[in-house]
């Protein structure tokens, strides 16, 4: 049993008084809201393969909530389970609160339980009931500590069978999975399996990830992105002010974002540093590691000629995977580590590991890994996460860039083309942003997502994700509904095998936010246009406390 004590700060006491604003359509209540079905939807790619894998849950319609008398609502007493899967994101507790409140409004005898420590709680049948006198201390708070999270993946036939059995033993009528793209892929697979087994149990996925890469036309942003980018922006803004004060260091700031650069772009908008690396652009331009370094050195030299031997560089943690030659190397290493895992795990020294993989790599890739600094090579060969991904948070890309920049500047000095001083400081902001108290936006958004999820499952929908649209507007004007999880899927190679996964949303190089960035970056590079956004503010003018991300604002502009 998990200890449910929540240490309450003075700020948290005040924060508990915050009442999330519900979209008008959800305020109509269960009996006053009807669900309108649209046309069946195909997956975003690999339609035939996805259809074959999801025979029971493929081709479902998008649904929309509208005001009206609901005559099909299930009124029986039900038990719902919620589980956090993957990394933390601000607002998770409000998802639970939204679920809890609407279930109790539907019937006071309805029960909400939380599986403990992630999906492993489902497999181990470890859970506890969510009760109001405990939940009240967690409303509008950060973290997932009420029931905790985990990264266990349910993927084997035995695990699916155990999941079915444990849900049945506990008489669970619906399972709500709060997670990112991989976790929601898992939710889709559980929903399909339960349908195959002819079990009348609903599975709903909630879009959670601070990385911002779980999005589409309907899921405009995943929860936690707003809060995390505000926290990171405060920290980067402080560094910008320090750099402008001391004027003697180049600060390399690595930010979270495993497979997409949304966080880095948003923090760039909020702080306007000198250089912002966008992985998607590097890939599109087919830039080598050397070319990336050259582009940074060019700015360093220009600023030095102006007497400015200082600056700020933002680096997405996953940028190394976007560099085509490194991307190809990682893909090859993934296959080797998947196929020869037991043999590779017996090797202890880095040199032995490098020799082992070099024998299996092409000449080009073997040369590349041999030329990389020993620390970076070691990190690239490190153990993969449960989903088969390289753990990019452990790869210190900023140090690799600094090492190569120093070498390039040294060469320029010898040619009398650089006369400045280059001193660097590195930072990595990741865990600092994952459990912050949710912003007003995320507090409203997550509560509405939980409320929305309950509406879907109470109406008998399974294999769905709640969506909330028009997020640029006040919360009361948001639009709500649900979309099938299979609609977002494609096929990707994981651990050497083809797997169905929810397609990641990368930074759109043709989109309005990126175009806005391109329009301003040359000015940011040379001048000190730094912004200092400060901490998240809960109290003050509403245009400050309730403002949305720059990314959403630019996406919704008309021009």
Which H or E run contains 539? none
Place of tokens 């049993």: 1
Q: What is the largest CA-CA distance in the chain?
A: 81
Mean pLDDT of the chain: 93
Q: Which domains are present in the chain?
A: 26-224+438-494 (3.40.50.450), 233-317+415-434+504-559 (3.40.50.460)
Place of tokens 């444990």: 166
Task: Give the pLDDT confidence score for residue 3 in this predicted structure.
Answer: 53
- pLDDT tens per residue across span 368-414: 998 888 888 888 888 776 666 677 677 889 999 999 999 999 999 99
Task: Check if the beta carbon of residue 514 is closer than 8 Å to that of residue 265.
Answer: yes
pLDDT band at 201 (very low <50, low <70, confident <90, very high): very high
In sequence order, the 6+-apart residues with CB closer than 8 A to the CB of 457 are 80, 173, 174, 176, 202, 204
- pLDDT tens per residue across span 323-344: 999 889 988 888 888 888 888 8
How far is it, in rounded angstroms, from Cα 54 to Cα 57? 5
Task: Give the pLDDT confidence score for residue 465 in this predicted structure.
Answer: 98
In sequence order, the 6+-apart residues with CB closer than 8 A to the CB of 188 are 54, 57, 203, 205, 463, 485, 486, 489, 500, 502
512 pLDDT higher than 50: yes
Indicate which residue of 145, 181, 211, 442 is catalytic.
211
Q: Which of 13-17, 77-81, 240-244, 364-368 has the least mean pLDDT?
A: 13-17
5 pLDDT higher than 70: no
Q: Which of 197-201, 260-264, 438-442, 496-500 has the least mean pLDDT?
A: 496-500
Task: Give the pLDDT confidence score for residue 1 in this predicted structure.
Answer: 47
Task: Give the pLDDT confidence score for residue 348 in this predicted structure.
Answer: 84
- pLDDT tens per residue across span 452-508: 999 999 999 999 999 999 999 999 999 999 999 999 999 998 877 899 999 999 999
- pLDDT tens per residue across span 8-29: 778 888 888 999 999 999 988 8
CB atoms under 10 Å from CB of 38, counted, come to 12
419 pLDDT higher than 90: yes
CA-wise closest residue to 308 among 412, 402, 419, 233: 419
Judged on CB neighbours under 10 Å (0-12, 13-18, 19+), 121 is: buried
Q: How many CA atoms lie within 13 Å of 357's alpha carbon, on the beta-carbon side?
A: 31
In sequence order, the 6+-apart residues with CB closer than 8 A to the CB of 136 are 16
How far is it, in rounded angstroms, from Cα 526 to Cα 307? 11
DSSP 3-state assignment of 502?
strand
Edge-to-edge strands, sheet with 311-316? 275-276, 311-316, 250-255, 424-429
43 pLDDT higher than 90: yes
- pLDDT tens per residue across span 293-316: 999 999 999 999 999 999 999 999
Angle at 94 between CA 175 and CA 98, to 5 degrees: 60
Task: Give the pLDDT confidence score for residue 245 in this predicted structure.
Answer: 97
CA-wise closest residue to 451 among 18, 19, 33, 99: 99
More confident residue, 341 or 114: 114
End-to-end CA distance of the chain: give it in Å, rounded.
54
Average pLDDT over residues 132-139: 95
Task: Check if the beta carbon of residue 440 is closer than 8 Å to that of residue 454.
Answer: no
- pLDDT tens per residue across span 137-184: 999 999 999 999 999 999 999 999 999 999 999 999 999 999 999 999
Task: Give the pLDDT confidence score for residue 288 in this predicted structure.
Answer: 92
**Global confidence as pTM:** 0.92
More confident residue, 266 or 320: 266
Task: Check if the beta carbon of residue 225 is closer than 8 Å to that of residue 210.
Answer: yes
CB atoms under 10 Å from CB of 99, counted, come to 29
211 catalytic, yes or no?
yes
- pLDDT tens per residue across span 215-239: 999 999 999 999 999 999 999 999 9
Q: Report percent pLDDT > 90 for the chain.
A: 78
């Amino acid at each position: 049993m998990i200890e449910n004590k929540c240490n309450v700060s003075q700020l948290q006491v005040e924060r508990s008084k915050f009442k999330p604003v519900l979209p008008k359509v959800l305020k109509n209540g269960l009996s006053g809201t009807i669900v309108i079905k649209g046309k069946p939807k195909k997956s975003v790619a690999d339609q035939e393969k996805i259809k074959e894998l999801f025979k029971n849950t493929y081709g479902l319609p998008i649904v929309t909530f509208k005001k009206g008398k609901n005559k099909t609502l299930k009124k029986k007493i039900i038990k719902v389970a919620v589980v956090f899967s993957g990394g933390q994101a601000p607002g998770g507790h409000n998802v639970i609160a939204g679920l809890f409140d609407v279930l109790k409004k539907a019937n006071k005898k309805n029960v909400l339980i939380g599986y403990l420590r992630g999906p492993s709680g489902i497999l181990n049948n470890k859970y506890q009931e969510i009760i109001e006198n405990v939940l009240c201390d967690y409303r509008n708070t950060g973290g997932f500590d009420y029931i905790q999270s985990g990264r266990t993946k349910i993927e084997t036939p035995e695990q699916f069978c155990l999941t079915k059995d444990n849900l049945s033993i506990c008489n669970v009528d619906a399972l709500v999975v709060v997670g990112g793209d991989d976790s929601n892929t898992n939710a889709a697979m559980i929903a399909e399996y339960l349908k195959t087994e002819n079990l009348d149990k609903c599975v709903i996925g909630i879009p959670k990830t601070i990385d911002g890469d779980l999005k589409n036309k309907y899921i405009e942003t995943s929860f936690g992105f707003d809060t995390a980018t505000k926290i990171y922006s405060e920290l980067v803004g402080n560094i910008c002010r320090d750099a402008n004060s001391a004027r003697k260091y180049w600060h390399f700031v690595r930010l979270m974002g495993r497979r997409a650069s949304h966080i880095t772009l948003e923090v760039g908008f909020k702080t306007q540093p000198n250089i912002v690396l966008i992985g998607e652009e590097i890939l599109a331009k087919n830039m080598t590691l050397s070319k990336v370094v050259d582009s940074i050195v060019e700015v360093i030299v220009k600023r030095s000629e102006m007497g400015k031997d200082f600056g700020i560089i933002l680096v997405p943690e996953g940028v190394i995977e976007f560099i085509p030659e490194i991307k190809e190397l990682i893909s090859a290493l993934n296959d080797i580590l998947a196929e020869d895992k037991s043999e590779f795990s017996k090797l202890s020294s880095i040199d032995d590991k490098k020799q082992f993989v070099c024998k299996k790599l092409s000449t080009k890739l073997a040369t590349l890994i041999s030329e990389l600094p020993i620390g970076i090579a070691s990190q690239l060969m490190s153990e993969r996460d449960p989903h088969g991904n390289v753990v990019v948070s452990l790869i210190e890309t900023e140090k690799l860039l600094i090492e190569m920049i120093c070498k390039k500047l040294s060469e320029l000095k010898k040619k009398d083309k650089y006369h400045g001083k280059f001193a660097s400081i590195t930072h990595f902001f990741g865990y600092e942003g994952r459990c912050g108290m949710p912003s007003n936006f995320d507090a409203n958004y997550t509560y509405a997502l939980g409320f929305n999820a309950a509406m879907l499952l109470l109406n008998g929908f399974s294999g769905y994700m709640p969506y909330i649209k028009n997020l640029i507007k006040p919360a009361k004007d948001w639009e709500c509904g649900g979309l099938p999880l299979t609609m977002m899927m494609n096929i990707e190679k994981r651990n050497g095998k083809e797997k169905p996964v929810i397609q990641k949303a990368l930074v759109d190089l043709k989109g309005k936010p990126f175009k806005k960035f391109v329009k301003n970056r040359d000015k940011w590079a040379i001048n000190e246009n730094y912004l200092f956004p400060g901490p998240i503010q809960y109290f003050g003018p509403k245009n400050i406390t309730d403002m949305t991300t720059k990314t959403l604002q630019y996406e919704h502009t008309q021009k």
